[in-house]
């Protein structure tokens, strides 16, 4: 197979995937009968499918739910859960709830910032890693807590967490 | 479904209970400590020994002592083990068969367990939250049957009113009064909403209840819907609680399949459906008018009350909004009677309260205690003091809306009025213990940072006031403040408390005011000779 | 229905049922400061300047969203209220960059007038001095976010009267800001009809007609109420 044929295949796969996601999103909107009230539920689904909410996606949702674009944008930026920029391949969320704070979460966050070179709430330039914070994961019994690629890490030990992140990013000591 | 069928399911399940069982905590806390891996390992060991057919490994909800997880309990002996690792699986099986076992046992006589009074948490850690049959086996949905077939809505409301139950979300509004208002407010449709937007950092009571006993909340909501005349309910859950959402979804599907939710419940004329709405990360949505805006798909901004949601809520219709724990109290009140409930607790605060005990305390976890218990009993006896024996300095209740209560006031009974009198609030149940190493100005600044980030931005006192207060506290911490800045802080706190639009802004100054009141010297220590740099 | 009798600042006043306290206060010839309220638009109760004391009620209530009731005893101008109002205006001045000397609305600005009215002669809070952009991509109008007070009058005028909802608020807390469509340059908005009602509704110099200079922007917010009346009457 030539390189260009391979490229065409990749493009087709990508298009098919995007069509599929579009279908699922459409089904979600249909389930809510395209009612504007369902905006937040629809945005949840859109973010789950696409990873983040691009202007095109927001505009699309606005059109389908027959809502003004500014209202959709206003809602998307009101809630912390919605991200208008792509997230990194790997994410680490540090809980900054009270129990975690009292047990040194701020220090943990600072060390991870230094280690990854990424400021809290941001993604590294190469798109490999996002460092995020959460208000409270509700895992206070395990303070300090963090979530590494979807897995809750309780009693998060600074050096242990740092080692795991280094490992994820394929970096050597 | 009728009563007969319900009881038949219960009996069948009970018959199973005589077998040997290993109950394995599968709540979010223990899952994070490796509980699922442990459960798999237990099953492997039992399979290898050819005993999986005789011994059940049941995933259950929260057993309370989250800080010592994963927890495992054996039935019928009731023995409980803490910090169980997958490598301990063989030994746990050995213990079940009466052979020696070196895994650390929990002392069930310890005040952490002995001082508790479980009503809301009575099934937590006993049943598999993902099976409706387990809930039915412990008497579930029988109260709903009784209510629908043997009580009028007025009688239900009267029972709740007589019980003295007050809202467990923080403010303590009498629940019966709220139900009565919704019941008598005119509207073509009415709604019941369960507020599970548990936003206080340091609190996980509602998460644990939903993860451990979701049907208890659904049944409570259905009884409320019958009482106020609603056919549609919503549970507004934080997006941060995926496991709670998953279990609620399962529970709703099961209840619908059993005819316990949906149309013609228990073959009566009563219809009630429940939908889940997932929050998207906004603390202010715990405020009921903001929560309504959010369910309607809008920015979660509060509006002035009146009108109260009980008269004009979702889509302008009468709407009953109660918190998870409030709904979770309902079945017990109906089942045992309002007099039983009001005999528990203190004079004006009836029943029990669930607290998430966290911070610098030996036994972190979830507890349910009768109202009127003192802070000392909770922190020192149940909590066991600080892990390293450092003196406890204060306990914070009520999260960003509450205050820090110094150790000198630990004989304060835990009830709505007493906590308010010492400058804090009951709140939803977060209780964070702080020791001598915790700086109170830092704590106040931490909460103000939270409020600043969570302010919706609608009203000026909260939007700008939180930022100004945060900046002043930062200046103070950096030793750049003047003595007169303390007056300015107090003046701004007063403005926010009196003029903010909603509870978030009105209560945001509480952590600052309470620490200023009890720990003023820590503020004053930061104003030194260096304080004059700022000028 | 019978008229309601209430006492405002010691005077007996009669009001129509269903009327807001703010309307009754104004009918009685008393002036209290308002900012997010604009005749002709819905109420949001956000600026907290019209808070009044009502006897028997623990909390201060916004006059714009409180309905009159029989026997209400209201105080609109106590020293406590005066102090709160002054502080609120101070907070607003500290929030963004309100520099009257270079503002198109100077002399015709509600914020400026309010500062005089409540006697705010200096700001004791730290200026937050945010760095907000000015958007002059629209052929007829511009918006300088540095002068915005987030009263949302533009949002409501656009939604409730023009009916297109080009404006909304994005972000939250102190980072909240008004936007057009998907937070795009106003000139590229596909919903804006260039009707200019947002500009009429704006209390400060945040939204302005292009080409005006310091002090030249007229203040014509009362035209919003006239438009609403015109719509109702269908002249």
C-alpha R_g of chain B: 24
Give chain A positions within 8 Å (CB) of C180.
Answer: 70
> What is residue A166's predicted lDDT score, i.e. its pLDDT?
86
> What is residue A172's predicted lDDT score, i.e. its pLDDT?
45
What are the boundaries of each domain within chain B? Answer: 19-107, 139-342, 352-435, 441-534
Q: B441-534 adopts what CATH topology?
A: de novo design (two linked rop proteins) (1.20.1440)
What are the boundaries of each domain within chain C? Answer: 4-77, 83-233
b/e code C72-106 from CB counts within 10 Å (16+ = b): bebbbbeeebeebbbbbbbbbbbbbbbebeebbbb
The H-assigned helical ranges of B49-110 are 89-96
CA distance C167 to A68: 9
- The two tokens of residue C135 are 């958007």
B198 versus B234: the higher-pLDDT residue is B234
- Residue B534 — pLDDT band, cuts 50, 70, 90? very low
Touching chains, A (3+ CB pairs < 8 A) = B, C
Q: Which helix (H) or strand (E) holds B250?
A: helix B242-257
Cross-chain residue pair C171–A72, CB shorter than 8 Å: no
Helix axes B460-477, B440-454, angle to 10 degrees: 150
Best of C91, C98, C175 to disrupt the B interface (most B CBs within 10 Å) is C91
Cross-chain residue pair B495–C172, CB shorter than 8 Å: no
Give chain B positions within 8 Å (CB) of C42.
Answer: none
* Option in B199, B366, B434 nearest A135 (CB): B199
Distance from CA of A74 to the nearest CA of B (A): 7
Averaged pLDDT score across all residues of chain B: 93
- The two tokens of residue C74 are 């209201």
pTM for this prediction = 0.92
Q: Please write the tens of the pLDDT for every residue from A72-96.
A: 999 999 999 999 988 888 989 998 8
Q: Is the domain C4-77 a CATH 3.90.226.10 member? A: no
What chain A holds in terms of domains, given with CATH numbers, is 3-78 (1.10.10), 90-168 (3.40.30.10)
B390 has a pLDDT exceeding 80: yes
Q: Is B296 on the interface with A (CB under 8 A)?
A: yes
What average pLDDT does range B181-185 have in this prediction?
98
Q: Are strands C73-75 and C4-8 parallel, antiparallel or unpaired?
A: parallel
CA distances from C129 to B432, C92, C132 (A): 36, 12, 9
CA distance A71 to A59: 11
Q: Is C185 on the interface with A (CB under 8 A)?
A: no
Cross-chain residue pair A40–B278, CB shorter than 8 Å: yes
Which A residues in the span 23-42 are in contact with B, Cβ-Cβ below 8 Å?
A: 35-41
**Are both C4-77 and C83-233 of the same fold?**
no
**β-pair partners for B320:** B192
Find, in chain C, the residue whose alpha carbon is nearest to that of A61: C182
CB C59 within 8 A of CB C75: no
Listed residue (B467, B454, B505, B447) closest to C92, CA to CA: B467
Cross-chain residue pair C95–B464, CB shorter than 8 Å: yes
- The two tokens of residue B408 are 């000198």
**β-pair partners for B406:** B394
List the CATH code of the domain at B352-435: 3.10.20.600
Listed residue (B525, B396, B386) closest to B450, CA to CA: B396
Q: Does the model's ipTM exceed the 0.85 cut?
A: yes
- Residue B345 — pLDDT band, cuts 50, 70, 90? very high
CB B200 within 8 A of CB A136: yes
Listed residue (B361, B394, B326) closest to B66, CA to CA: B361
Counting Cα atoms < 13 Å in the Cβ hemisphere of B461 gives 29
B5 has a pLDDT exceeding 70: yes
CA distances from A55 to A60, A80, A85, A130, B225 (A): 8, 17, 10, 21, 41
Q: Is C44 on the interface with B (CB under 8 A)?
A: yes
- Residue A170 — pLDDT band, cuts 50, 70, 90? confident
DSSP string, C150-197: ---HHHHIIIIII----EEEES-GGG-EEEETTT--GGG-SS-----H
Find, in chain C, the residue whose alpha carbon is nearest to that of A58: C182
Listed residue (B279, B422, C115) closest to A75, CA to CA: B279
B533 has a pLDDT exceeding 60: no
Q: C83-233 adopts what CATH topology?
A: Alpha-Beta Plaits (3.30.70)
* Option in A55, A59, A70 nearest C167 (CB): A70
**CB neighbour class for A106 (10 Å; exposed up to 12, middle 13-18, buried from 19):** middle
**Residue B311, SS3?**
coil
CA distance B173 to B88: 47
Q: B19-107 adopts what CATH topology?
A: Glutaredoxin (3.40.30)
Find, in chain B, the residue whose alpha carbon is nearest to that of A36: B297
Give chain C positions within 8 Å (CB) of B456.
Answer: 172-173, 176
CB C117 within 8 A of CB C49: no
CB B310 within 8 A of CB B182: yes
Tell me the percentage of chain C whose pLDDT exceeds 90: 96
Q: Please write the tens of the pLDDT for every residue from C178-225.
A: 999 999 999 999 999 999 999 999 999 999 999 999 999 999 999 999
Longest distance between any two alpha carbons in chain B, whole Å: 80
Tell me the percentage of chain C whose pLDDT exceeds 70: 99
Distance from CA of A42 to the nearest CA of B (A): 10
Least confident of A98-107, B249-258, C26-35: A98-107
Touching chains, B (3+ CB pairs < 8 A) = A, C
Q: Which helix (H) or strand (E) holds C143?
A: strand C141-144
Q: Which helix (H) or strand (E) holds B232?
A: strand B232-237
> What is residue B153's predicted lDDT score, i.e. its pLDDT?
98
C-alpha R_g of chain C: 19
Which B residues in the span 50-69 are in contact with A, Cβ-Cβ below 8 Å?
A: 66-67, 69
| Cβ-proximal residues to B53 (8 Å cutoff; 6+ apart), any chain | none
What average pLDDT does range B171-188 have in this prediction?
96
Q: Please write the tens of the pLDDT for every residue from C24-35.
A: 999 999 999 999
Q: Is C150 on the interface with B (CB under 8 A)?
A: yes
Q: Is C203 on the interface with B (CB under 8 A)?
A: no
Residues B139-342: name the CATH superfamily. Answer: NADH-ubiquinone oxidoreductase 51kDa subunit (3.40.50.11540)
What average pLDDT does range C26-47 have in this prediction?
97
The sign of the torsion formed by the CA atoms of C75, C81, C86, C92 equals: negative
A162 versus B223: the higher-pLDDT residue is B223
Q: Which helix (H) or strand (E) holds C5?
A: strand C4-8
* Option in A55, A59, A74 nearest C179 (CB): A74
């Amino acid at each position: 197979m030539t390189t260009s044929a391979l490229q065409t295949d990749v493009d087709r796969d990508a298009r098919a995937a995007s069509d599929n996601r579009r279908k699922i999103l459409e089904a979600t909107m249909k389930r809510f009968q395209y009612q504007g009230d369902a905006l937040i539920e629809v945005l949840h689904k859109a973010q789950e499918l696409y990873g983040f909410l691009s202007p095109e996606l927001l505009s699309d949702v606005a059109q389908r739910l027959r809502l003004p674009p500014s209202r959709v944008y206003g809602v998307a930026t009101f809630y912390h859960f919605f991200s208008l920029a792509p997230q990194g391949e790997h994410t680490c969320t540090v809980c900054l709830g009270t129990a975690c704070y009292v047990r040194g979460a701020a220090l943990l966050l600072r060390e991870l910032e230094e280690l990854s070179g990424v400021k809290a709430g941001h993604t590294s330039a190469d798109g490999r890693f996002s460092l995020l914070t959460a208000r409270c994961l509700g895992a206070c019994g395990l303070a300090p807590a963090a979530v590494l690629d979807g897995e809750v890490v309780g009693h998060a030990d600074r050096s242990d967490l740092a080692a795991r992140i280094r490992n994820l990013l394929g970096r050597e000591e | 479904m009728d009563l007969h069928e319900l009881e038949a399911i219960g009996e069948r399940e009970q018959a199973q209970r005589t077998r040997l069982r290993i109950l394995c905590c599968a709540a979010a806390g223990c899952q994070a400590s490796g509980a699922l891996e442990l459960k798999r390992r237990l099953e492997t060991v039992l399979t290898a020994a050819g005993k999986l057919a005789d011994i059940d490994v049941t995933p259950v909800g929260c057993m309370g002592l989250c800080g010592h997880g994963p927890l495992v309990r054996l039935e019928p002996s009731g023995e409980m083990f803490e910090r169980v690792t997958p490598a301990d699986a063989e030994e746990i099986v050995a213990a079940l068969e009466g052979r020696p076992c070196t895994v650390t046992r929990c002392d069930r006589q310890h005040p952490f367990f002995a001082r508790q009074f479980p009503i809301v948490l009575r099934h937590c850690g006993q049943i598999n939250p993902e099976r409706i049959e387990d809930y039915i086996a412990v008497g579930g949905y029988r109260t709903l049957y009784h209510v629908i077939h043997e009580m009028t809505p007025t009688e239900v409301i009267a029972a709740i009113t007589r019980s003295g139950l007050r809202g467990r979300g923080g403010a303590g509004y009498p629940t019966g009064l709220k139900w009565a208002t919704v019941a008598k407010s005119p509207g073509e449709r009415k709604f019941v909403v369960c507020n599970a937007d548990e936003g206080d950092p340091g609190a996980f009571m509602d998460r644990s209840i939903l993860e451990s006993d979701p049907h208890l909340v659904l049944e409570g909501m259905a009884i409320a819907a019958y009482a106020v005349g609603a056919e549609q309910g919503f549970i507004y859950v934080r997006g941060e609680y995926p496991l709670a959402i998953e279990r609620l979804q399962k529970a709703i599907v099961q209840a619908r399949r059993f005819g316990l939710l949906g149309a013609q419940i228990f073959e009566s004329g009563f219809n009630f459906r429940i939908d889940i709405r997932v929050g998207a990360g906004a603390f202010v949505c715990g405020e009921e008018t903001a929560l309504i805006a959010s369910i309607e798909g809008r920015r979660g901004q509060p509006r002035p009350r009146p009108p109260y949601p009980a008269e004009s809520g979702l889509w302008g219709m009468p709407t009953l909004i109660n918190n998870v724990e409030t709904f979770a109290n309902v079945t017990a009140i109906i089942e045992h009677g309002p007099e039983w409930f009001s005999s528990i607790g203190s004079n004006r605060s009836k029943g029990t309260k669930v607290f998430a005990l966290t911070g610098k305390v030996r036994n972190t976890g979830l507890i349910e205690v009768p109202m009127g218990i003192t802070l000392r009993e909770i922190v020192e006896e149940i909590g066991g003091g600080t892990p390293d024996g450092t003196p406890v300095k204060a306990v914070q209740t009520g999260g960003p809306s509450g205050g820090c209560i110094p150790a000198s006031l630990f004989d304060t009974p835990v009830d709505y009025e007493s906590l308010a009198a010492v400058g804090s609030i009951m709140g939803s149940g977060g209780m964070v213990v702080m020791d001598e190493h915790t700086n109170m100005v830092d704590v106040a600044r931490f909460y103000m940072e939270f409020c600043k980030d969570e302010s919706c931005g609608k009203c000026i006192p909260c939007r700008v006031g939180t930022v100004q207060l945060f900046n002043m506290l930062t200046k103070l911490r950096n030793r750049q403040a003047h003595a007169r800045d303390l007056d300015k802080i107090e003046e701004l706190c007063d403005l926010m408390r009196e003029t903010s639009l909603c509870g978030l802004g009105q209560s945001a100054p509480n952590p600052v005011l309470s620490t200023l009141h009890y720990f003023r010297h820590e503020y004053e220590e930061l104003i030194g000779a260096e304080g004059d740099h700022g000028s | 229905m019978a008229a309601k009798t209430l006492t405002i600042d010691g005077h007996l006043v009669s009001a129509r049922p269903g009327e807001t306290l703010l309307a009754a206060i104004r009918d009685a010839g008393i002036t209290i400061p308002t900012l997010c309220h604009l005749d002709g638009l819905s109420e949001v109760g956000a600026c907290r300047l019209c808070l009044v004391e009502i006897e028997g009620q623990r909390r201060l209530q916004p006059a714009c969203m409180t309905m009159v009731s029989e026997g209400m005893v209201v105080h609109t101008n106590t020293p406590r209220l005066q102090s709160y109002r002054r502080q609120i205006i101070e907070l607003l001045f500290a929030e963004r960059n309100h520099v009257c000397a270079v503002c198109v609305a100077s002399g015709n600005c509600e914020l400026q007038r309010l500062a005089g009215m409540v006697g705010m002669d200096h700001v004791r809070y730290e200026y937050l001095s945010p760095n907000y952009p000015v958007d002059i991509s629209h052929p007829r109008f511009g918006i300088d976010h540095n002068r915005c007070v987030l009263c949302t009058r533009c949002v409501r005028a656009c939604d409730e009267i023009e009916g297109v909802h080009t404006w909304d608020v994005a972000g939250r807390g102190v980072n909240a800001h008004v936007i057009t469509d998907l937070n795009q340059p106003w000139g590229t908005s596909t919903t804006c009809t260039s009707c200019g009602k947002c500009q009429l509704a704006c209390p400060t110099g945040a939204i302005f007609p292009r080409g005006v200079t310091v002090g030249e922007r007229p203040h014509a917010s009362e035209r919003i109420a006239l438009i609403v009346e015109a719509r109702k009457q269908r002249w």
